[in-house]
């Protein structure tokens, strides 16, 4: 099944780079820098200009890389979700839960990862077929929230986003998350045009992930 294969690929990436950008070029170059640095999971947000075209370009660029996993972020409605999926997005991420987006993603066998801040939201998302739940903002709910959720829902896969850094990434994994989303701490230098630093940051995140998984 396509959805199962994508979920396995998402889990393998371990780190998903949340890529925004003031221009199409900035977002595109930031995403490439992340992938070239070893962070193969990309959440290209629809706050970036021409996000669907960037997704299509990245899919073409890395069609021969079996580990590259290109998804769409900040997807607020089913119309945007379908545009992203038609452009080639392998997963859909939202800052909040939307049942119509969930149903559309289920129809196309595409993983839907909505942002949740409560047990009720997580249960609703799981009921509508979300296999990975985004705990967002991670800096607000904190790592203890993951432990609390895992008690009644040991089967849930969690991706914290917002507040994940190199310094605390291992603590998040120790709490039981499946993967993490990294934004400004990873791709921040792109806003100044420093894509080489983004690549170096990605290399550091990849190395840290390998270290965590080797323990």
Nearby residues of 116 by Cβ (< 8 Å), 6 or more positions away: 96, 97, 122, 125, 133, 134, 135, 136
43 carries an active-site annotation: yes
Q: What is the CA radius of gyration of the chain?
A: 16
3 carries an active-site annotation: no
Among candidate residues 9, 40, 134, 208, the one labeled active-site is 134
Among candidate residues 9, 29, 40, 43, the one labeled active-site is 43
Helices 143-150 and 119-127 meet at what angle, rounded to 10?
60
Q: Active-site positions?
A: 43, 134
């Amino acid at each position: 099944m396509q959805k199962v294969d994508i979920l396995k690929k998402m889990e393998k990436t371990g780190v998903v780079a949340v890529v925004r950008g003031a221009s199409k070029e900035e977002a595109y170059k930031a995403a490439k820098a992340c992938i070239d640095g070893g962070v193969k999971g990309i959440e290209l947000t629809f706050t970036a200009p021409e996000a669907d075209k960037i997704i299509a370009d990245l899919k073409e660029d890395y069609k021969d890389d079996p580990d590259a996993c290109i998804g769409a972020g900040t997807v607020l409605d089913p119309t945007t979700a379908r545009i992203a999926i038609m452009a080639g997005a392998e997963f859909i991420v939202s800052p909040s839960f939307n049942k119509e987006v969930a149903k559309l993603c289920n129809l196309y066998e595409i993983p839907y990862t909505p942002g949740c801040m409560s047990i009720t939201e997580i249960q609703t998302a799981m009921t509508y077929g979300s296999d990975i739940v985004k705990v967002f903002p991670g800096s607000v709910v904190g790592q203890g929230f993951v432990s609390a959720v895992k008690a009644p829902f040991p089967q849930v896969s969690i991706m914290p986003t917002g507040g994940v850094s190199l310094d605390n990434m291992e603590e998040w994994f120790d709490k039981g998350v499946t993967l993490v989303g990294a934004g400004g701490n990873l791709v921040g230098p792109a806003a100044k045009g420093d894509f080489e630093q983004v690549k170096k940051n990605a290399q550091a995140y990849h190395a840290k992930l390998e270290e965590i998984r080797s323990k």
